[in-house]
Every structure is written in C-alpha cells, then in structure tokens.
Structure 1
C-alpha cells in the first residue's frame, strides 16, 4: 500500500511539497493525525515533541516494508521472503523471542550495519573513501585548465565521475566497476525508476527500470562469483577491516550472515548487496550535487566555506589537497551548509510499526499500525526555521546562517543544533537513526572541501531547471526538474 502511495505522489500534476505547507499540518499545535486509507489505519506523526518521543521508543520496526523493497527493487527471490515476513522481533527484543537467532534478520543486519558504519569498520571505510575521491579529483583536474569548460549535466559529474565510483569502491573494492563499467549508469536508471519498481503496477510500464535492475544484479553476481573464487587475492583481511576481494570485512561477512538464514542463497545475497550499493548511491550523490550548486551560487557563502577548507589543508598528494578532516568536520560554516542542505533538500517519509501500543501526546497508536513521520513538515516548519532567532529567512531558501550563533566574547560564529531537536530529521533520530549518517557527513564535507579548493564552478542552468522535482517525494533527497548545465575551471594559483 505505501509503495503505491509513493508512486501516486510522483504522478501528481501539482507539487506535494507546497500542498503540505498550505495545510494545517504546519500549525503550532502539532498532534498525531489518523487516516483511514485502503482499509488500514495510518498515523501521521508531527511536531518536535512527538517526533522525539517516537524515535526514543525501542519497540519500533521499519522492516515490515524491507522485504517488499528488496523483492520489487532489487530482485530478491520469492523463496527468500519468508524469513523477513516471519521476523517481527525488531532489533532490540530479548524476551519471549520465538524466532531462531540465526533468522532474526532485523537484529543481525542492524548490528552488522552499526559495526561497519558506526563502530570498528568506520575508520577504514573513511580512509578508503578519502583515497578514492582524491584519486578521482586528480583525474578531473588533469582534464581541466584555468580556462572555463562547459558541460551539460552537473549531476552526472557526481554520479558517474567523482562521488559515486569513490563510494562504491570504498565499500566493495574496485573489481565490480572495473569488470562492469556500465554498472553506475544502470544503477542510476534503477534509481530514476525506483517509485515505479516499488509500485504494484504492471512491470511493462517500467520496463527500463526492471531491465536496469537485471543488469545490476548480473554484475553483482559476477563480482560475487569472482570474490568467492579468489579469497586470497593480494592479501587477507587486515586489522583495518579491508578485504581485497570483497572490498570490506562488512561485505565479506554478509555472505555468512545471510546464507545461515532459512531460504537464502547466493541470489538473495546479491539482491541484498545491490540494495546496499543503491542506498550508498541514492541520497549522498544528490546531496553533494545540491550542496555544490547552492554553495557556488552564493559567492559570500563560498568565500566562507573556501576559507575554512583552506585552513585545514595539511599537504598535497599529487595535485589533490589533503585535509585535517577531524578539524574540518567541526568548522561552523562547513557544518552550517551541510545541515541547511539536508534541511532544504530531503523530503522523506519514515515508516515505523510499534510492537506494542504507543502513546504520543495523549494519542494511543495501537501496535502493528503504521506511523508515518514526514521530514517535510519538520524541515519546513516556519515557527522553527523562519523564526526571528534564526534570521527570519523564508523556509524554502538556502540560508546556512540559520545554524550560526554569534558569540560576542570571542566575536566568532558558532554552529548550533540548539532548538532543532525533532525538527531536523534527515537521518531519523534516536536509537533508530540511520547508521550511515556519520559516513554520509564525512564524504559530503570532504568532497565539498576538495571541490572548493581545486575548482571554480558556475551554474548556467535556468531557475526553472533548478526547481526540485516531486517525482521522488517521500524517498529522500529530490532531484532537479531539468539537466543542470555548468562551467568549470581549475582554480589553482
């Protein structure tokens, strides 16, 4: 049902973003709203206090749709669905669990993701990404000059040349893209057709998306077969959790994790890994694209970001700058543009089911009924984001200064999250926050810093083309309506 609703959003002749802003959902008296839709109760959760209360609750699961996404978008075989449908234990339950430990798919994948993206696997992942993105920036610089060069699609620069291949290689190693150079183009096509794949409409209506899905799966299976046949290529797993065949210990260990579960085989594991690669591609590429657009279209903001980035350069590797990334991640303007970009561009729906009755602001949500939290109502709330304390800027405009507070004692601007709890939820919040949020921030800010210190860029697309498209409303960061043309040159002096 929810996938069908998402598809309808994309087909609407009007922009649902503006519709939501014109409804009573954005009043100052937030409370949950219950809708009866297609025979089901849907609870719309809104308001900072209710959002915080929801995400603090451990008795929630988002996996009730996970198997449908894997089946429809990433080709999970039908025989593998049962283990997902049977597991209603959530990631934290320990008492009265009737599912065998090896079949607790939500708990086991939750722990695996957290080890890779929050725990011991994160430093090695970040190091691999830094090496990969620097290499691609050096190649880009070699192709440019101090004179302007004009191109027709800025998104493609990040989805095919810079960011996406660096992310993919950092997770699974270089073999996949080396053996299948069209994989990123196919993944992009899959991403463009995601809502159609999710729908229950006839497959022939989305033939292009399903063809791309099949090609992506064949590529992943081919790489899996190679990795299984070459477990000792180059070196074994090191203390840094690198793996020369699988790219990372995380990906290698998933082979064992899923094959231990009922109904799973190499085909279902390939679908799982395709889902990981799409998730790494989907939001971060679009996020960096918009961030570059917004920063370079505001010269005064570019000046501040460039100054902070240059202050963190500790040397050069070839023709690419190397940064003190820990310091870079904590500078005020860099954090402000990052946070404002996600506030403005992410329009997602977070779906959860409670395993027991849940009370929100005096309203009881019965167990096993769907709770929908929309980031749009949180991120576009004028009482929070257009307040006098945040500069009274319109909510639909890019103003990083919302996030900065001037300290009269040291006469400096400081980044602050104060007052945004429950109103800034690009990754969810609480115990259910997206585990990839730390890596996402790392790769976004590092890519931005390298770009602004190496290149000048001018967006030449029309204002109409730069409008956000509602076609993926509800599924994260929206793309632009049209192709974004641009000019670029080497800014080296």
Structure 2
C-alpha cells in the first residue's frame, strides 16, 4: 500500500476510535453551560452531523470517518489556499506553512497537550526559593513543563468550553477584534506573572505561542 494511503488509513482508524469513544461516553448532561461544547463530540456542529448520519442509508463507520476526516481538512483549507494560492504543498517550504496561523496553532496545541520536557535551571549567584523548596547556589534543578502546559488558571479555556486537558485548535490564535481570544486566560492576563519555557513564536503577529505577560510599572 502506498505511504499516503497508509497515512489516510491510520487517520481513519483514529477517527473511528474517537467516534466509538464519544458514542459510549456522551450524554446531554455533559454539554457545557453555553450549550455548544462538550468533552466528547466537541461541538453542536459535530453532534448534529452524527445525528444526521444515523438516518442516512449506507453510511457505515468507515464512511462517517471519511466524512469527518474531510471536515478536519476543510477547516483549515481556506487559510491554506489564501496563503499558498495555486501552489501545491510540494512547491512550498515549511516556512510558508508555519506562516499560516491555524496550522501553527494546531501544531503548538499538540505540543502543549501531548509533549512534556524537562528544563534545567541553576543559580550561580545565590540560593533560590522555589515555593516551599530551596535551590542552593550552583545546584541544578529540573522543571517539568507538564504543570505549566496544563495550568488551568493560565490557559484560555473560553470560559470552560475548552478545558486544558482537551485539544482546541484555536487556543493560541489572537483575534484583534476579540479581547477574550489568545492563549492566556483573560481573567489573569493583566494581573499575574507566569513563567513558561518559551520556544520561538509561530505564525507571525496573528499567533502567540506560550506567551507570558508581565504587568507594567
């Protein structure tokens, strides 16, 4: 089987597992307060789609998985076309792809949710107090990024619609017309310092990746 077909099959398998899990665990009581999101199907759009699929003849699990796979790609297709025009993906470099905000946001959110690293810290000047711990001068400490990656007070969850333990493609996108957008919880954005290991930014000025905010003055 050609490699692209194997990748497509693997994606379809993942989507079918998601569908089975959602069908087993979803209930109306798990819909969030706003009436849209839920931790299994994700949104009213997906719930309604699957309610319709049940009524359509000849739509088995493979067909439904293929339809949702198409939806996933369709969500970012307009952004890709706007950036690349008539070029195919084979004709562009990876830098052009990282300039597409939604793709960079998806990539960054996957790293936040599923990737943890250790950061080595040390002080050559003085002992350092870290909460209830003390790091002696010239000693080496290791910080696990998991606590920061899953800090529900720091990350924007859209008022609980997208918990930090769930994947949200748009979590790191900043909409200049929407003050509630962006990766940081709006409730603490102007009031607290947060230290997070910060890789380079992706997606230009439309995407903020692991941004910290220090109050002025």
Give the shorter-chain TM-score range.
0.3 to 0.5
TM-score (norm 2): 0.46
TM-score, with structure 1 as normaliser: 0.23
- From the two aligned structures, give the one with the greater strand fraction: 1
Structure possessing the higher relative contact order (Cα contacts under 8 Å, 6 or more residues apart): 1
Higher helix share: 1
